Structure 1
């Protein structure tokens, strides 16, 4: 009889489930694993962002500076009669006799000052190919210059970043926050005085997600402000003349990673308000399938892409 009771008690012990402490430990371990996976994704993305700026954007800035040191002029400028404008060799002097003259010869240019306002045809963008179609990754794209960025660097003996590979040094491939491939492209252009994204010669970086743009802005300027500093969004309206706006805080990068690629940033069909009380607001263009100002959270969407200007020292 005692043996039967001991067997029954043993059976009851075998049938017992996990204790609350054991369940808590299991759940804690599962939580740690999930957290580690999420952190690993963030670490991987941050490492990719660091590579984009250190191995690509910064190296292109070094290549631009090296070109200036070797040739005595900026990219695409005249060596014998520099204009200090990117693509200056393709401009003409407005006061140079009948119909003007080429900037590099300066024929008859003594009749006008040698400042940008005296040159026509300025402001074209020097790239190594079109890349993204005009105004598809931010509004305000300039026309392509007749010169090729890769050819200019090669002729001057300037070493370019590896980029995507031989012949594609101006491109850099990365993954957006939804896992979709996106491509950066580097160009250079001259901005006239008064251009909100920065006057003078700038590096044009096309194909930035808002997350990557903010990261680069933080590294370059120390704060993610799309309208101030040396790193700015292309097509940003200038500050208004009111004292409140002029002395107010800057403007955040208006797009975010929950917005689809079809959003029209700053162009026809979109609304961008620029007052001290209502900052940049992105509204989906009519007929577009992308996100809206409130954000679309489809994790299969291509994240919206932007264009930024990095102001150069020369």
Structure 2
């Protein structure tokens, strides 16, 4: 009797039981991996709704209350962001002058640290975004904190922190990303830029629609556009090019931040 009990107690797992355990482990690992992607997609949607959309609303609210866009003159409006500082062309009226040869007024931001170097170089902005909104009692998105409403923190695909920053500027005619008043959005990883473009324009095209990549020329009508420059395999600090390919600076390891791009989001006013 004791021999039967000892023999039964020494019986191990069967192959079927081991297979079931391995399948369950695989399902758990897969669910964790998928869950991370779902969580990141939800965070990107939140970023658009709670930050990008709310800054567009704040910009439109400024126009509704002041009758002019951000930084424009109320007595002699030019319908330009920071239009009050537009002096190129002297006393010429807007109609009849070749504005593509003029110098656009500088952007209005709250800080410039996160806006990368551009080609041509981006002039130093006016650091007055917070003040100009406060003057009209306009509620800004909460952003990171009081005084940093122009910034939003998120995690990239490596789990490292990245920071989005917004500015507003007027693009003169012949600007690659399109002319008119735009929200400049820096600090976007390529996947975040594509997802925002998909949500705003319906497809991730860097040169078409109201959401475009900075410096990307608008293409010929009737032909396919271009992909957003760079991808998530490239390290922060790399040179962004077009067609989904950038210049990698070192290997993109888990401890590295992902490369970022700059977008121009055309405003209604």
TM over 0.5: yes
1:195 partnered with 2:175: yes
Identify the residue that residue 127 of structure 1 maps to in structure 2: 109
1:27 CA displacement: 1.1
SS at match of 1:186: strand
Further displaced range: 112-121 or 86-95: 112-121
Please say if residues 262 and 304 of structure 1, whose CA atoms lie closer than 8 Å, have aligned partners that are also in contact: yes
Alignment counterpart, residue 152 of structure 1, candidates 103, 114, 132? 132
Please say if residues 92 and 119 of structure 1, whose CA atoms lie closer than 8 Å, have aligned partners that are also in contact: no
Whole-angstrom CA distance in 2 between matches of 1:193 and 1:77? 18
Identify the residue that residue 236 of structure 2 maps to in structure 1: 261
SS at match of 2:216: coil
1:145 CA displacement: 3.4
Unaligned 5+ residue runs, structure 2? none
Please say if residues 88 and 103 of structure 2, whose CA atoms lie closer than 8 Å, have aligned partners that are also in contact: no
Q: Structure 1 residues 260 and 216, CA, compared in 2 at 3 Å: closer, same or farther?
A: same
SS at match of 1:182: strand
Identify the residue that residue 3 of structure 1 maps to in structure 2: none
Alignment counterpart, residue 18 of structure 1, candidates 13, 34, 48? 13
1:133 CA displacement: 5.5
Please say if residues 215 and 224 of structure 1, whose CA atoms lie closer than 8 Å, have aligned partners that are also in contact: yes
1:17 CA displacement: 1.4
SS at match of 2:125: strand
1:80 CA displacement: 0.9
Q: TM-score, normalised by structure 1?
A: 0.79
SS at match of 1:92: coil
Q: TM-score, normalised by structure 2?
A: 0.91
Please say if residues 126 and 188 of structure 1, whose CA atoms lie closer than 8 Å, have aligned partners that are also in contact: yes
Whole-angstrom CA distance in 1 between matches of 2:63 and 2:150? 18
1:255-274 CA deviation, whole Å, 9 max, x = no partner?
A: 111110121114xxxxx5xx
Alignment counterpart, residue 217 of structure 2, candidates 234, 237, 240? 237
In the alignment of these two chains, the number of paired residues is 269
Unaligned 5+ residue runs, structure 1? 1-5, 97-108, 240-244, 267-271, 273-278, 291-295
Identify the residue that residue 251 of structure 1 maps to in structure 2: 226
Please say if residues 104 and 170 of structure 2, whose CA atoms lie closer than 8 Å, have aligned partners that are also in contact: yes
Q: Structure 1 residues 89 and 119, CA, compared in 2 at 3 Å: closer, same or farther?
A: farther
Identify the residue that residue 275 of structure 1 maps to in structure 2: none
Alignment counterpart, residue 247 of structure 2, candidates 274, 278, 283? 283
Larger radius of gyration: 1
1:298 CA displacement: 1.8
Identify the residue that residue 210 of structure 1 maps to in structure 2: 190
1:45 partnered with 2:40: yes
SS at match of 1:201: strand
Q: Structure 1 residues 114 and 157, CA, compared in 2 at 3 Å: closer, same or farther?
A: farther
Spell out the pairing of 1:54-93 with structure 2 (5 A cutoff). Answer: 54-92=49-87
1:128-169 CA deviation, whole Å, 9 max, x = no partner?
A: 02122541xx65552133351111111111110000111000
Q: CA RMSD in A?
A: 2.2
1:309 partnered with 2:243: no
Deviant stretches of 4+, over 6 Å: none
SS at match of 1:50: helix
